Structure 1
Amino acid sequence: MLLAMASRLTNEVTDAAPDLLLGTARHRTMLFPRSRTTPRTARDFVAATLTEWGETSRLDDMRLCTSELVTNAVLHGAPVGQLVLVRVESLDKELRIEVHDSGKNRPTQRVPEESAVDGRGLLIVAATADGWGVKERTGPGKCVWAAFNHITEPQGATS
């Protein structure tokens, strides 16, 4: 059952951006178990991928958003025994983190009570990322994403 879910998630995510021309983007995808350690290992996966690609200008922001999105997927999205898929994508104009799970519920941004100890994840993502949203997936579940505009060096800037 676990392998079937893994292959469905992997096959479905390859269609994440069907309008891109070949060679205009890079991406890397990894499946994670639904466990309390998944947010940390997903952050590490995203950081390692972005570092390898030389995309570190917003690394801390992307790690934070990854943590929040994956935590939501683990706590509220992925049913027990299912997997969470994390995709890192570098497009021409933006970097994108996608978190896919097979849960039915769509996340909603809310304003928690001041004394609440949780419920701020999507507020953090909205304040940190340049954009975020939820999209349907082929098959079960949804994809929650956060996008970060590429930061380019001004012409003539030197280090």
Structure 2
Amino acid sequence: MSLTDHLPGQSSAARTFDREANTVPTARSWTRRIYTQLGAAEDLLDACALLISEVVTNAVLHGAGAQYTVVVESDLWISVWDESPALPRHREHALTSEGGRGLELLEMLAPGYQVIEDTTRGGKCVRFQPKGWT
């Protein structure tokens, strides 16, 4: 696991995690800490925690490669990159299903989210900024 923490004057913080389920809480708490350092309000911290959990879980479950990378920009955009070229897609799910709502959550809480094919490194990046940040 590699780490580049946010320091005053930098425009981003980045951390690479092993693509394992037990890293999801660590990615969530690390991202929340960076958001706190950048002065995000409590409601944005909660939205950030929910969305990063969802996107990172998808990278772990549906991604490829041994690791994934999370980048937090100073304008509170978050990017999650993994090596899989497969793009996220809407899935049918029952009302009682525990999964399948990731894109719906992004559409609701971060309506300008982006899915970017990474033609340089391969794979893809899911990029979002929770609404409400000014």
Q: TM-score range by the shorter chain?
A: 0.7 to 0.9
TM-score with structure 2 length normalisation?
A: 0.83
Please give the alpha-carbon distance, in whole angstroms, between the structure 1 residues aligned to 2:125 and 2:23. Answer: 17
TM-score with structure 1 length normalisation?
A: 0.71
- Cα RMSD (Å) of the superposition? 2.3
Whether the 8 Å CA contact 1:32–1:38 is kept in 2: the answer is: yes
Residue among 114, 119, 140 paired with 2:100: 119
In the alignment, structure 1 segments of 5+ residues that lack a partner are: 11-22, 153-159
Whether the 8 Å CA contact 1:134–1:143 is kept in 2: the answer is: yes
Are 1:42 and 2:24 matched, yes or no? no
Please give the alpha-carbon distance, in whole angstroms, between the structure 2 residues aligned to 1:84 and 1:75. Answer: 11
How many residues align? The count is: 127
In the alignment, structure 2 segments of 5+ residues that lack a partner are: none
Whether the 8 Å CA contact 1:135–1:142 is kept in 2: the answer is: yes
Identity of aligned residues (%): 38
Whether the 8 Å CA contact 2:109–2:131 is kept in 1: the answer is: no
Q: Which has the larger radius of gyration?
A: 1
Whether the 8 Å CA contact 1:110–1:123 is kept in 2: the answer is: no
Deviation at 1:113, TM superposition (A): 2.4
Counterpart of 2:86 in structure 1 is 105
Write the deviation string for residues 126-145 of structure 1: whole angstroms up to 9, x where unpaired. 21113212002112200011
